[in-house]
Amino acid sequence: MVKEYILLIIGAVLVNNFVLSRILGICPFLGVSKRLDTAMGMGAAVIFVMTLSGFVTSWCDKYILVRYNLEYLRTIFFILVIAGLVQVVEVLLKRFSSTLYSALGIYLPLITTNCAVLGSAIICATEEEFMGRIFKSTVFCFASAVGFALALVLFSSVRERLELSKIPRSFQGPAIALVTAGILAMAFTGFAGLGS
């Protein structure tokens, strides 16, 4: 059982990375990765929200949607749950932990529209491996969020180095960012043998 969870975590972080393998969460990956400190803040916020939403959406799916044959409402229901969860977390952080709110505050609204959070909830609800297993779904969402944060931090580090490099004019801006993301995705395919 422990081996199963270790393989799940390694697979979610490295092998089936949400950004570099599943191509989910590209907007914040390209938009927030210009500076390392913003990438780390966004990564921490994604880890927190994706883990929490993984638990809540798995519980709701098992005890509400599946029980009452409402599986066809999963996408809309999950979007509402994630948006509501982000709002509740934002209000609670603002009230009880102003330092954590100031650290994560600007990133929390961005997570509401992050398709990686919704994608993890849908994967946990539809794939046979996770259906009805709340703890395993939560671990998967946590590991996927760590993989998202890892890719974001690595990419932002490379982008900061590229700012100091002499790049041909035709590759400056989004072009070099996309080429770099492609090379990073190819590097992550080297981990493909670890998940089996």
Take residue 98 and report the two structure tokens written for it: 């102003």
Confidence tier at 185 by pLDDT (50, 70, 90): very high
- Residues in CB range of 4: below 8 A, 6 or more apart: none
- Residue 161, pLDDT > 80, answer yes
Closest of 182, 188, 81 to residue 141, by C-alpha: 81
Q: In the prediction, which pLDDT does 123 show?
A: 96
- Residue 195, pLDDT > 60, answer no
Q: In the prediction, which pLDDT does 118 show?
A: 94
| Dist CA 55 CA 145 (whole Å) | 13
Q: In the prediction, which pLDDT does 172 show?
A: 86
- Residues in CB range of 188: below 8 A, 6 or more apart: 14, 15, 17, 20, 21, 151
| Dist CA 156 CA 7 (whole Å) | 27
Share of the chain above pLDDT 70, in %: 97
| Dist CA 152 CA 154 (whole Å) | 6
Task: Compute the average pLDDT of residues 32-57.
Answer: 89
State residue 133 phi and psi, 5-degree precision: -110, 95
Residues 139-151: tens digit of each pLDDT: 999 999 999 999 9
Confidence tier at 196 by pLDDT (50, 70, 90): low
Tell me the pTM: 0.90
Confidence tier at 10 by pLDDT (50, 70, 90): very high
Residues 90-138: tens digit of each pLDDT: 888 788 877 777 776 677 777 877 899 999 999 999 999 998 899 999 9
Q: Give the chain's mean pLDDT.
A: 89
